[in-house]
A and B are shown apart, each in its own frame.
Chain A
Amino acid sequence: MRSGDARREILHAIRTNLESSPPVQSSPSPERRGGQGVRTPEGRGGQEVRIKHFTEQLAAVGAQCTTVRSETEAAAALARILADAGARRVVGSDAPLVQRILAAVGNDIVIDRLERLSRDELFACDAGVTTAQWGIADTGTLVLESARERSRLLSLVPPIHVAVLSVRCICESLGDALARLSVASHAITFITGPSRTSDIELTLVVGVHGPQTVHVLLMEGP
């Protein structure tokens, strides 16, 4: 088998070359590695501090945020966001919360289910609504896990992405979030603000391949 040969050859080349140089003494022990200090899930401040930090960072990276206290409020906020943007065709993920909020949004907007859409139809959508499994306060980041929800394309293809996030799921730092993630999800996506490029004369353009608008509905309460 050629592939097996290549594998053997490469591993052999690595071992032979490693043997020809003396081993380093400075290689750290597994205990010392990381060395970041232990971070409690509560982090440096309480939840209030974390929420404030998160919303500040969201603004810094160009994402919008609306705080809501119930599903009814979330639906009203979503209706406003969609109306302001002139969005006509909206698709929601399979998360029950998203489905309930979309059902409560007025019926003058075409609301589709992802599984019914062809690739071309998906490309013609104005907005995608998903939840986010985690938020990261330090960086204003949303974390989406594929095992929890089908949100991979809806958070990417339409020009507007609305993500519902519970305030209880805001982590302090990137390290905290990584510690909570499970690779049971074949795709984990970190989203920090809208899609952006500076490839032409270093001029910032927002919304290249991904969404131009990222709007977080931050759910307070139980």
Chain B
Amino acid sequence: MTFERDARTALADGQLRGALRQATTLFGERRRAALATVPDWEGARDRARAIKDETLEHLDRYLEEFAANAERAGACVHWARDAAAACDIIGGIAERRGARTVVKSKSMASEEIHLNAALARRGIEAVETDLGEYIVQLAGETPSHIVVPAIHKTKAQIAALFADKLGIAPSDDVATLAAAARDALRRRFAEADLGISGVNFAVAETGTILILENEGNARMTTSLPHTHVALMGIEKVIPRFADLDVFLQLLPRSGTGQVLTAYQSLITGTKRRAEDEGPEELHIVLLDNGRSRMLASRVTRQALACIRCGACLNACPVYRQIGGHAYGSVYPGPIGAVLSPQLFGLARSAALPYASSLCGACRDVCPVKIDIPALLLHLRAQVVAEGVAVGKGHLRERLAFWIYATVMVRPRLFAWLMRAVRSLRIMPPLGAWTKWRDLRPLAPRSFREQWRAGLGDQRGPDA
């Protein structure tokens, strides 16, 4: 099992766990403080979910409306059935525009389709410009947190990396490191022919795309190059411009605990006059890649309401210990555990629905009230129903539940077994549970025996 192996590796990494604890705790605290500034947080969550539900119920209509309005404003809208198609479309645009270097701002969808590798095969270099993503790219790694991609790296590691790759003098001053990245990336911005961004929200009513960020790299990416390509999952669309209000209240507060991120760019088509600033061409790529399939059931459809804030990661007791890499997917944490099996196939991610204690913390913090535990159970049922092999553990589990079911419907067999277990003083090994914890010793007499011996006749003081 890759998940179990990678999770074990992560658990043995004290530095990683320290960094994760610090980050997830801090984001949790900031989030709580930020949502206290919204008078009706629960109401905002309900409204946002209702908007998402309504959109998904009529996704075909809203997508068509969005595409028509974006095109009317001068954008070129592309439809991509899967990852390969999206990579082809974007690679084709880059080649047609003669782009050798493309600058990228953060886009989970581009990670999902492995866009950088696809561009590299065409001889096009994609440069990540978000500081965290840039660090991860220089190190040849993958992001481990949706909001803080390089959370797993210390500043000493980053200093060594920058000294090696950027040729700067080693420094453990964070501002110096950030300035070095800024200078290196400014040169890339100056020469880039194409900018690729993600999309946080797409407004059907106006054809507008909205991008949130803190650093300014997404603004650079979407305003400096001659061509801007925006890649978005088809679930990013919302009906009306005014709907942005509630989502802008929810997303920054849930993600980073900010009332608002430093920048929101609302882009509607291309520049209207030649002397205006901004790209000449805007291409919007609508990506399905398994999303339309998720509409088929009410339970699975919920996951399409996700606005990628990362709050469920910070709240999850499993993620907080193992971090993002162990999930083996671009979407880690609780939401990743429900998205990955649905987007990339159950067989590839069958262990992920089990990477949860079902404590419900993810559901409690989710700004759009996705019932992630219900989704996890739904997917677990699917793993069993489809007989997806997830290791020997599941055979044992099936056997254990068969024994349990057999015994529990036969009271006499149950009583006999309990007597046998107590008199022999044996407990079956309960896997990870007894490996790390001692079970309490068994009572000398069972509750049933005590009851029969007269416990039921004793009356409480109220009687």
User: What's the Cα separation between A15 and B63 when bound, in Å?
Assistant: 12
Q: Indicate if the CB atoms of A199 and B131 lie closer than 8 Å.
A: yes
Q: Indicate if the CB atoms of A208 and B182 lie closer than 8 Å.
A: yes
CB distance from B142 to the nearest CB of A (A): 15
One of B285-293, B335-343, B378-386, B393-401 at the interface:
B285-293
One of A18-26, A64-72, A80-88 at the interface:
A18-26
What chain A residues lie within 8 Å of B294 (beta carbons)? 17
Q: Indicate if the CB atoms of A14 and B60 lie closer than 8 Å.
A: yes
User: What's the Cα separation between A205 and B270 when bound, in Å?
Assistant: 32
Which of B73, B217, B259, B265 gathers most chain A CB within 10 Å? B259
Q: Indicate if the CB atoms of B215 and A195 lie closer than 8 Å.
A: yes
- Tell me whether A191 and B262 are in contact in the complex, defined as CB-CB below 8 angstroms, given that A24-B298, A175-B242, A203-B174 are known contacts: yes
CB distance from A94 to the nearest CB of B (A): 9
CB distance from B307 to the nearest CB of A (A): 16
> 8 nearest interchain CB pairs?
A210-B216, A209-B216, A199-B132, A13-B292, A190-B264, A17-B295, A188-B266, A17-B296
What chain B residues lie within 8 Å of A6 (beta carbons)? 78-81, 85
Q: Indicate if the CB atoms of A187 and B178 lie closer than 8 Å.
A: no
One of A28-36, A48-56, A95-103 at the interface:
A28-36
- Tell me whether A196 and B47 are in contact in the complex, defined as CB-CB below 8 angstroms, given that A202-B22, A208-B217 are known contacts: no
- Tell me whether A192 and B261 are in contact in the complex, defined as CB-CB below 8 angstroms, given that A156-B219, A208-B182, A209-B182 are known contacts: yes
CB distance from A11 to the nearest CB of B (A): 5
Q: Give the total of A residues in contact with B, Cβ under 8 Å.
A: 71
CB distance from A146 to the nearest CB of B (A): 6
Q: Indicate if the CB atoms of A195 and B216 lie closer than 8 Å.
A: yes
Which residue in A26, A153, A190 is a CB contact (below 8 Å) of B50? A26
One of A104-112, A115-123, A162-170 at the interface:
A115-123
Which residue in A9, A195, A205 is a CB contact (below 8 Å) of B175? A205
What chain A residues lie within 8 Å of B98 (beta carbons)? none
Q: Indicate if the CB atoms of B50 and A33 lie closer than 8 Å.
A: yes
User: What's the Cα separation between A123 and B80 when bound, in Å?
Assistant: 36
What chain A residues lie within 8 Å of B404 (beta carbons)? none
B364 at the A interface (CB under 8 A)? no
Q: Indicate if the CB atoms of A20 and B296 lie closer than 8 Å.
A: yes
What chain A residues lie within 8 Å of B22 (beta carbons)? 202
Chain A, 181-207, CB within 8 A of any chain B CB: 181, 183-203, 205, 207
Known: A17-B295, A190-B265, A200-B155. 14 other contacts (CB 8 A): A11-B63, A14-B60, A21-B298, A35-B47, A146-B276, A186-B73, A187-B266, A187-B267, A195-B216, A196-B215, A196-B262, A201-B19, A208-B181, A210-B216
